[in-house]
Chain A
Amino acid sequence: MPFSFLSIMQFEWSALILLFIVLFLRIGKKVISNTSLLYIVNGLLLINFISGFFAHEDGTLFGTMFVSDSLIRFEKSLLNLGVLIISLQSFHWLSKHHHASEFYMILLSSLTGMFFMLSSNNLFMLYLSLELSAIPLAALANFDLQKRVSGEAAIKYIISSAFSSGILLMGISLIYGALGTLSFDAISLNMTGEPLLLFGFICLFAGFAFKLSAVPFHLWTADVYEGAPVAVTSYLSVISKGAMVFVFITALFRVFANVAESWYQMLFVISIATMIIGNLFAIRQQNLKRFLAFSSIAQVGFILIGISGHSDAAVASAVYFIMVYIFSNLAAFGIISLVSDVTGKENIDDYKGFYSTNPLLAWVLTIALFSLAGIPPTAGFFGKFFLLMSGAAADNNTLIIIAALNMIVSLYYYLRVVKAMFMDSNAQPIEKLKPGWMPVTAYIVCTAGILLSGIIGGAFEYIISIVSTH
């Protein structure tokens, strides 16, 4: 087909076109008010999300640098959905902001980077798209220019990111030096456990682990998450992390399947460390954003357990978990962003008595936290169950037992927030908030996702069916 480069790359084109539309809207800023700009962009993001369902063509482009299949398209649609939800939720914040259009331009560049990253079939392509997705985020982290913590967050992010990219590049060059190729297919055929290659792989692994904020490569996470505006934090911790999980799975299962023995051990150590350290830090956090940052580190530990199962079911569990994680975490971030935006309160103690003033919002946050804690019948429970199930299939009981102990700890701190909202009284609770219809839509979507995607078994079955054709 002559125009297959259009249809195979539909997601990328769509994101790029959106980016240019926003750019033109920015140029015509004089005629369009900030609010109507936000309406237009959110509408376009919705169209972008829906158009994703019409993409259907599998294939490769640019030699074999770029691939697309139904699993990759599903993953991209998930990211689209996440971006749409974040955009809806940040309506209130952006409507007062002078540079709303720039927010979208940077966001869309990063999203485009992620799309390319998911489709990359070559280490070089992977590296380029990784950077394309990461560098704009530093600008986003500092989007509230007048805030000093945001500036600090951006600097810390760009420096740590540069460091990790250095290590990643070193890994890539070692592999290239040993094998003379960067193509995934060629590497997967020739990959062996010889020290040079293995060290290259370790560097690559560490680079990925940095983006996933797995322990001990996680230290940047808390500072950046806390300093950045909530919308950016949710993008970093949900969308960016989700994309990295997808790529990480492709890398381990497809490219480095030959050294599965080595990476299994690495995953084993790292997932345990990630869960334990993430939980230990989350327990003592008072700032909710920081709290969610550390708890999201612990969640990554669970994902790594599932991945260690190394099967189709493991891929499906991880993808499913990311979907659930998008719903749950974004619902939580959505409430926090609203509260922080209107009242400036971000501490757990500030949420005491939240239920008495905002019962519905308190319920949304509770359901989200229950899902993150893995309490049935929320989708989070199913997500964790499938991950552990895939992990258990690898017959590693130590890992599963440690995971369960960590679930108990995490239950404690998630419930701490719920307790503050429902049971503690407060002389000055957060006042009654009135979210606009856009954030409310986002809350409804997230809550419905949390409640339904678990109980309706079809969601997981669909994912496992597209994984088997991957």
Chain B
Amino acid sequence: MNAFDLSIWIPILPFAGFLLIGLIGKKYFPSISGWLATLFMGVAAALSIYVAIDYFFLSAPSDGHYIAQEIINIPWLQFTDSLSINMGVMLDPISVMMLVVVTFVSLMVHLYSTGYMHGEKRYATFFAYLQLFTFSMLGLVLSSNLFQIYIFWELVGVSSFLLIGFYFDKPSAVAASKKAFIVTRFADLFFLIGILIVGVTGDSFDFNTIIINLTSPEGAGKLSATFLGVSIITWALTLIFIGGAGKSAMFPLHIWLPDAMEGPTPVSALIHAATMVVAGVYLVARLFPVFILTGSGAIEIVAYIGIFSALFAAVIACTQTDIKRVLAYSTMSQIGYMMFALGVSNMHHTDGFTASMFHLFTHAFFKSLLFLGAGVVIHAVHSNDMRDMGALRKYLPVTHLTFLIGCLAIAGVPPFAGFFSKESILHAAYATHPDIFYLALITSGLTAFYMFRLYFSIFWGQKEIHLHHFHGEAGWSMKLPLIMLGTLSVITGFVPFAEYITADGIPHLAETDIMFSIAPVLMGLTGIGIAMIMYKSANALPDRVASAGKSVYRWAYHKFYIDELYIFITKKVIFNLIGRPAAWIDRTIVDGTMNLIALMTTEISDSVKGMQSGKVQGYAMYFFAGVIGLGLLCLYIWL
């Protein structure tokens, strides 16, 4: 059997697992359901890798031009003669790449969860949900048309709702899952309108057909129609982007992401690192040829929302003390990177596309590594707060090492994976949008700072923590994923990405500009340095001062003085003047605006209740007023 034909089995496997565990396993074999689910995922991951090898290496066409292949495309609903809704499986470079990412990270999370969730009352249910989620995500990735992607998009939403609210006896978890569901649903409705408009304008839902229809000369005519002074297609793409922004937690629709950390930690690793949150990026990438078509419209919005979210989240991350919330904001920030990388592209510069996909690829590994590592830490300390942690490196050696690799990768230190992908993003931004480039540079410094603040607070820190009831680090089921993901976080940077994934399918030569990378690396190292001074050894400082000689003391005093200066600038200025207000705005204004909208709706609904008096004569009056109103309306049209 051809490898491509096997690709249909990749989503079917987790779905079968979901049915098997959800319907039968829960009752009859709950204890092995975790391993069963892991087995299903393992086969799916192996198949994905097989498909990827076949796609990129074995059956690559001789000219090296990767084309989109529709493996299956069944018409499902014929809406009008020309417009039909299909169900299909499409393989192209980005969907194959996503297949590997999703199945592999999901496999790691499954394996990890067999240890992490051990002894949970609803152990089997958890795995059933994980399988459902993975199925939905794979369906989304393989979709060949907008309608299908929307269906799976919603399924992803529903299954993530189940996973975030897994501890449903905890009110905060219930509230968080509800919030995530409603915020993303809110965004999805804009997505739906966008789909409708694209469907009608492009006369198809099929990605390839839409792109062909809209990029053809006849398509240009359709694009010129405007609504409120903006072209229809810009509207449509903006609306679709809003849908993507909701799932990908872009400002101001990110408010659900920090709260969603209420879910079990492996869930955060799966949903909030590698899969669901990048769905928005994937969506924009899917419609990339249409996005860059409109010139300065929707794509600019993508770029600026992306960079703003990246910077905003990075600033907030500096102030958080809940380790999962730091990771949540850092995810938002990194996805901001992927978004603006797409956004800085235009017809002539499409490097951003490759860079964005590259970052998506590497980020998936190191961010799920960080989340899983955080899970081990939380397991050991029984707290999410970094102030309860410190000096854990002695207790958790494997976690310590892999977490460090993850931090180095996200901070963009060579030769770890994040360095390469971030560098290519910055390169792409520099070519078209210097303003975004500089902001991104600052963000990368901040990223290094808050990640190492996290790292030092957990593993070094000031105070000695004595772990009670500590039974060793974790079982192999939890350590193995950390090690594998850690290894990948080191090596994936060396994948010559541009040779496989480009906007037009034609391989480019992957290149690294050493001179260019000096600035970002320096920014990263500075951030790490500041974090080290502030959080690694603040306690040791007085001791050294006391034991040193007088001249050394003076020098030390000066160093101390510099420390103070650092602390003054970072703690007082950055934290209080920028970080705190930003966090406050996030909590109060952004969240508040959403609440205000809800409140206003309720208020208005209160104020119209007078209409419903219960008196029939009043009803008749409204009825008659309605007739007259319609008459006036017609008169108005008629004149």
Contact = CB atoms under 8 A, between A and B. Distances in A.
A167 B227 CA distance: 38
A206 to B, nearest CB: 5
A270 B626 CA distance: 9
Interface in A196-239: 198-199, 202-203, 205-206, 209-210, 215-217, 219-220, 222-223
B78 A167 contact: no
A397 interface: yes
A219 B622 contact: yes
B286 to A, nearest CB: 19
A265 B618 CA distance: 26
Contact of A404 (B155, B192, B611): B192
Interface residues of A, number: 67
Contacts of B235: 397
A14 B27 CA distance: 49
A408 B626 contact: no
B182 A411 contact: yes
Contacts of A277: 608, 611
> Is chain B's interface secondary structure helix, strand, loop, or mixed overall?
helix
A412 B623 contact: no
A401 interface: yes
B630 A404 contact: no
Contacts of B638: 193, 195, 198, 262
A461 B77 CA distance: 7
Contact of B193 (A220, A377, A404): A404
B168 interface: yes
Given A164-B623, A460-B77, A393 B200 contact: yes
A266 interface: yes
A376 interface: yes
Interface stretch (B111-119, B183-191, B472-480, B490-498): B183-191
B165 to A, nearest CB: 9
B85 A202 contact: no
Nearest to A216: B626
A199 to B, nearest CB: 6
A206 B630 contact: yes
A392 interface: yes
Contacts of A215: 626
Given A392-B200, A408-B185, A423 B168 contact: yes
Contacts of A460: 77
A74 interface: no
A412 B602 CA distance: 11
Contacts of B541: none
B491 to A, nearest CB: 39
Interface in B565-580: none
Nearest to B165: A423
B347 interface: no
Interface in B592-637: 598, 601-602, 604-606, 608-609, 611-612, 614, 616, 618-620, 622-623, 625-627, 629-631, 633-634, 637
B251 to A, nearest CB: 19
A219 B619 CA distance: 6
Contacts of A386: 79
A15 B77 CA distance: 34
Nearest to B154: A376
Nearest to A259: B634
Interface string B43-81: 000000000000000000000000000000000111110
B623 A210 contact: yes
A202 B630 contact: yes
B630 A266 contact: yes
Contacts of B618: 219
B199 to A, nearest CB: 7
Interface string A156-172: 10011001100100000
Contact of A411 (B185, B611, B619): B185
A69 B192 CA distance: 35
A269 interface: yes
B151 interface: yes
Nearest to B187: A408
B611 A401 contact: no
Contacts of A222: 612
A167 B605 contact: no
A216 B616 CA distance: 13
Interface string A135-178: 00000000000000000000110011001100100000000000
A377 B155 contact: yes
B196 A389 contact: yes
Given A266-B630, A280-B608, A389 B616 contact: no
A312 B80 CA distance: 9
B633 A266 contact: yes
A464 B609 contact: no
B150 interface: yes
A407 interface: yes
B601 A167 contact: no
B189 A217 contact: no
Interface string A372-402: 0001110001000110110011010100110
Interface string A329-358: 000000000000000000000000000000
A203 B200 contact: no
Given A202-B634, A281-B609, A163 B186 contact: no
A64 to B, nearest CB: 29
Given A220-B619, A284-B602, A412 B78 contact: no
A404 B608 contact: no
Given A262-B637, A409-B601, A415-B182, A397 B606 contact: no
A381 B154 CA distance: 11
Interface string A404-418: 110111011001000
Contacts of B601: 280, 283, 409
Contact of B199 (A160, A209, A389, A461): A389
B595 to A, nearest CB: 12
Contacts of A313: 79-80
A210 B637 CA distance: 23
B197 interface: yes
B433 interface: no
Contacts of B606: 284
B61 to A, nearest CB: 34
B570 to A, nearest CB: 41
B193 A375 contact: no
With a 10 A CB-CB cut-off, give which of B193, B197, B200, B631 has the most chain A CB atoms: B193
A261 B609 CA distance: 33
A26 interface: no
Given A160-B616, A217-B623, A457 B77 contact: yes
A99 B151 CA distance: 48
A219 B611 contact: yes
B379 interface: no
With a 10 A CB-CB cut-off, give which of A203, A219, A261, A284 has the most chain B CB atoms: A219
Contacts of A281: 605, 608-609, 612
Given A219-B622, A377-B155, A408 B189 contact: yes
Contact of B620 (A163, A195, A261, A283): A163
Nearest to A461: B78
Given A392-B196, A411-B182, A262 B168 contact: no
Given A160-B623, A262-B637, 4 more contacts: A160-B616, A163-B623, A397-B197, A457-B77
6 contacts: A160-B623, A202-B627, A220-B619, A311-B80, A376-B155, A461-B77
Interface of A: 155-156, 159-160, 163-164, 167, 193, 195, 198-199, 202-203, 205-206, 209-210, 215-217, 219-220, 222-223, 261-262, 265-266, 269-270, 277, 279-281, 283-284, 311-313, 375-377, 381, 385-386, 388-389, 392-393, 395, 397, 400-401, 404-405, 407-409, 411-412, 415, 419, 423, 457, 460-461, 464
Interface of B: 76-80, 85, 150-151, 154-155, 158, 168, 174, 178, 182, 185-186, 189-190, 192-193, 196-197, 199-200, 227, 232, 235, 598, 601-602, 604-606, 608-609, 611-612, 614, 616, 618-620, 622-623, 625-627, 629-631, 633-634, 637-638
- Shortest beta-carbon contacts, A-B, top 5: A280-B605, A219-B619, A457-B77, A216-B626, A404-B189
